[in-house]
Structure 1
Amino acid sequence: MDPKLLLMMAVSVVAAVGGAAADYVRPLPRKALQFPWSPKHSSYPQQVHVSLAGAKHMRITWVTSDKHAPSIVEYGTSSGTYTSTAQGESTSYSYVLYSSGIIHHTVIGPLEDNTLYFYRCGGEGPEFQLKTPPAQFPITFAVAGDLGQTGWTKSTLDHIDQCKYDVHLLPGDLSYADYIQHKWDTFGELVQPLASARPWMVTQGNHEKENIPLLKDGFVAYNSRWKMPYEESGSNSNLYYSFDVAGVHTIMLGSYTDYVEYSDQYKWLKADLSKVDRARTPWIIVLFHVPWYNSNEAHQGEGDDMMASMEPLLYAAGVDIVFAGHVHAYERSRPVFKGKSDPCGAVHITIGDGGNREGLAYKYIEPQPEWSIFREASFGHGELNMVNSTHAFWSWHRNDDDEPVRSDQVWINSLFSSGCLAKKS
């Protein structure tokens, strides 16, 4: 290994030891953002975002108010020159007195890896550009959950925009619409500058449920607007799926759909993990909304049932890192399993501090559990740089006076390279 890399690892490990953060003056909540109405032509594409859609393909999603607007995407590798066209599908939904616009989903590809593409939605409107992820290491993920639409959300998005990332991972609680459907539209407008340029891979949180007993099933807006590659991964639900990118197998699970043994999600997860080829994807990371390892007073015990059901599957498969949201604070564990540190367990990271309107969860349980190595109630985002098949560098950047401050960092070794999988087999 490169001597410089070894030195950085050593320094990072020393810096990470020491447990909880020093005293820190936590920022106050910020007000909800205001979105002045800006009239646009009925076929003008709005709320544009992209997501991965199987090998070498990406899904472009946008909204129009014209029900006759075509679901086509023109694209190419030169600005203004579109050498390919893809035809997609459209949907819409109603919710009490609200009627959505026409939501278009169009898959483009096959695409070249690590390449800049220019595209146009519906045959008119502005040109957008996206960059496809690399096929090999290194690859960088930006991670932020519980975003909402506040001033802190805007600060977090600005900091993520400064990060040279390839894919954004969001472990639930996107818009905080909470039944007020037009807030899904303003959220789409807010994230469009980032989400139209890099794939955003999301899973649902409690604020996406929006069910009304006897009137509306849950997740209608979420499933209509944020279609993920569940079909491509053999899932029968948009609430859980997986995808491969640059040597990383990523699994997105649903905390709010059935997860008990023999449920559809459990059976799908077991089958999905059994198909992972660690020689091709040496890393496995998992995201869901409700944390299993949480020493914050907020949401204590809410993930226990899911953990009892699914943690043995993740442990047996050698999952490396687990991300969760829900708790509005940051926490990183040691490798852990069954409530205790275990060198062959996953590192659990709670990162539900993207900028939500409910404020921070600043009360932690004392004494700090032995598995908890760093915790802090601040808004921020994380960056996961998968350097190669054996080493990844994780850093968490709190929003401090509108400057991203690296407050926690650590090198993580893959379990595939550590010999743990051989011990479990």
Structure 2
Amino acid sequence: MELNVVLLIMLVSCAATAATDYVRPPPRATLSFPWSKKRSSEPQQVHISLAGEKHMRVSWTTNSKHSPSVVEYGTSSKNYSFASKGESTSYSYFLYSSGKIHHTVIGPLEHNSLYYYRCGGEGPEFQLKTPPSWFPITFAVAGDLGQTEWTKSTLDHINQCKYDVHMIPGDLSYADYLQHRWDTFGELVQPLASARPWMVTQGNHEKEYIPMLEDSFKSYNSRWKMPYQESGSVSNLFYSFEVAGAHVIMLGSYTDYDKYSDQYSWLKADLTKVDRKRTPWLLVLFHVPWYNSNEAHQHEGDDMKAAMEPLLRAAGVDLVLAGHVHAYERTNRAYNGRSDPCGAVHITIGDGGNREGLANKYVDPQPEWSIFREASFGHGELRIVNTSHAYWSWHRNDDDEAVRSDQVWLTSLSGLECLNEKADHEPRKMLLEP
């Protein structure tokens, strides 16, 4: 066993367990964002995302329609050796008109390296760090963020984590049709999202659909462009990416997912391309959980689960992360509604700090596949140590401290017999048939 694995095991064994008399802190108010005058060309709401091998997409907005979609970057401060030009878009929503939204891909970039960059030829200098080329790698995870004081607490705790990539399984801003709340969310997350890649998928609060008046996901798709084209997808609502030995699939709970849909066809094709020697870890994120013992949102994920879970099991997905339910829950490896050693571990982590509060009521008795559940705000950290082992921990927001309240070692299915099942096994057959 590698030294870093041993050290992490020691860390787990020494960690204090959560107190049984834990008293959940009360709700906190929605954040306010005082207006401040900015130059029309000043870059705002800067965030980055992975955009293919050794490339990063830099996104930002300006109030000026004439600002160039150019990013200058280099490995030393204020010394920009490279420049890339990208694209821009904008949108209107009733009386709201967005600023100019820029998306520029930079690279190739070296792995595990610090870069300095500037957007639009002016404004402040930002720093970003690229992920490593191989293990270990750390993912931060928090769903259903919103813009409350609990959100800020969650972001502060994530900022203390030495993570490489942040993943969000839906419900980002909780703008809910009020488009200026997308702007304030961009302002809120910029310190973190400009420094590490944020990989997101959509939730119900991103939909913002008004029949015959406004299309679904207009703001989300305009502002948070993900590498869907780079992964062969036809929609920004579902895509995949690879980073440091992990293949990560982001699915859409609010777009078609039956076996005749574009998303189903793309998922099947994407899974067949996965090489578990190159990416021994296979992760999936979407918004509505398939395994949920909370009374909130019961059975909402059943149809998507029925359509897609056999594909995930056939491919040997290791971990599924979801949001939507404003609480935390971790399952045993599960498939078809019960524990299964060849199924995925499912984690619900819709507890980032949203304004709707926590989902406090659980189904009784606790299902046999449910291992740990608690209604508290917090975030998760997934540290993939090597090709076979990863350490998952959930950190509850206990007042203003991050308290590790759940942790588990995971073993990748890539090294087990699950992927060597006979082709006539029904889930495997679904994945292999044309």
Q: Is the contact made by 2:390 and 2:409 (CA closer than 8 Å) also made in structure 1?
A: yes
Q: 1:29 and 1:317, CA in 2 relative to 1: closer, same or farther beyond 3 A?
A: same
2:28 match: secondary structure: coil
Q: Deviations over 1:268-310 (max 9, x none)?
A: 0000000000000000000000000000000000000000000
Distance 1:12 1:47 in 2: 37
Correspondence for 1:334: 332
Identity of aligned residues (%): 76
Mapped partners of 2:13, 2:261: distance in 1: 40
Secondary structure of 2:331 counterpart: strand
Q: Is it true that 1:317 corresponds to 2:329 in the alignment?
A: no
- The aligned residue for residue 404 of structure 2 is 406
Between the aligned partners of 1:242 and 1:356, the Cα distance in structure 2 is 26
SS of equivalent residue, structure 2 residue 421: helix
Which of residues 279, 295, 304 in structure 2 aligns to 1:306?
A: 304
Q: Is 1:101 matched up with 2:96?
A: no
In structure 1, the partner of 2:431 is none
The runs of at least 4 consecutive aligned structure 1 residues that moved more than 2 Å come to 2-16, 20-24
| Aligned CA distance change for structure 1 residues 81 and 239 (closer, same or farther; 3 Å) | same
Deviation at 1:15, TM superposition (A): 8.9
**Other-structure match for 1:174:** 172
Distance 1:316 1:349, change over 3 A: same
Distance (Å, rounded) in 1 between the aligned partners of 2:13 and 2:312: 25
- State the match for 2:393 in structure 1: 395
Distance 1:119 1:11 in 2: 37
Shift of 1:8: 5.1
Task: Write the distance in 2 (CA, Å) between the matches of 1:286 and 1:166.
Answer: 17
Alpha-carbon separation, structure 2, partners of 1:274 and 1:25: 47
TM-fit CA distance, 1:6: 5.1
Report how far residue 22 of structure 1 moved. Answer: 4.0
Corresponding letter in the other structure for 1:43 = S
Residue of structure 1 equivalent to 2:147:
149
How far did 1:102 drift?
Answer: 0.4
**Matched residue of 1:350: which SS?**
strand
Amino acid paired to 1:142: A
**Conserved? CA contact 1:80–1:118, under 8 Å:** yes
Cα 1:146/1:395, change in 2 over 3 Å: same
Please give the root-mean-square deviation of Cα atoms over the aligned residues, in Å.
Answer: 1.8
Counterpart in the other structure of 2:360 = 362
CA distance in 1, matches of 2:172, 2:422: 37
The number of equivalent residue pairs is 423
1:24 shift after superposition: 2.9
Matches within 5 A, 1:340-351: 340-351=338-349
1:277 aligns with 2:275: yes
Gaps in structure 1 of 5+ consecutive residues: none
Conserved? CA contact 1:13–1:410, under 8 Å: no
CA distance in 2, matches of 1:22, 1:329: 18
CA distance in 2, matches of 1:409, 1:424: 34
C-alpha separation between the residues in 1 aligned to 2:178 and 2:44?
19
1-structure distance, mates of 2:291, 2:45? 34
CA distance in 2, matches of 1:193, 1:27: 26
- Indicate conservation of the 8 Å contact 1:316/1:424, yes or no: no
Q: Deviations over 1:125-146 (max 9, x none)?
A: 0000000000000000000000
Alpha-carbon separation, structure 1, partners of 2:118 and 2:155: 24
Q: Tell me if 1:27 matches 2:34.
A: no
Deviation readout 1:315-363 (Å, 9 max, x if unpaired): 0000000000000000000000001111111000000000000000010
The answer to whether the Cα contact below 8 Å between 2:5 and 2:385 also exists between their aligned partners in 1 is: no
Q: Which amino acid aligns with 2:95?
A: L
- 2: CA distance, partners of 1:23 / 1:251: 38
Which of the numbers 292, 295, 304 marks the counterpart of 1:294? 292
Secondary structure of residue in 2 paired with 1:149:
coil
Counterpart AA for 2:171: D
Residue pairs, 1:158-307, within 5 angstroms: 158-307=156-305
- Do the aligned partners of 2:295 and 2:361 also contact (CA within 8 Å) in 1? yes
Does 1:139 find its partner at 2:137? yes
Helix, strand or coil for the counterpart of 2:282?
Answer: strand
Q: Which amino acid aligns with 2:151?
A: T
- One-letter identity of the residue aligned with 1:121: C
Deviation at 1:5, TM superposition (A): 3.2
Q: Deviations over 1:175-218 (max 9, x none)?
A: 00000000000000000000000000000000000011001110
Contact 1:21 1:376 in 2 (8 A): no
Shift of 1:7: 7.9
TM-score, normalised to structure 2, is: 0.95
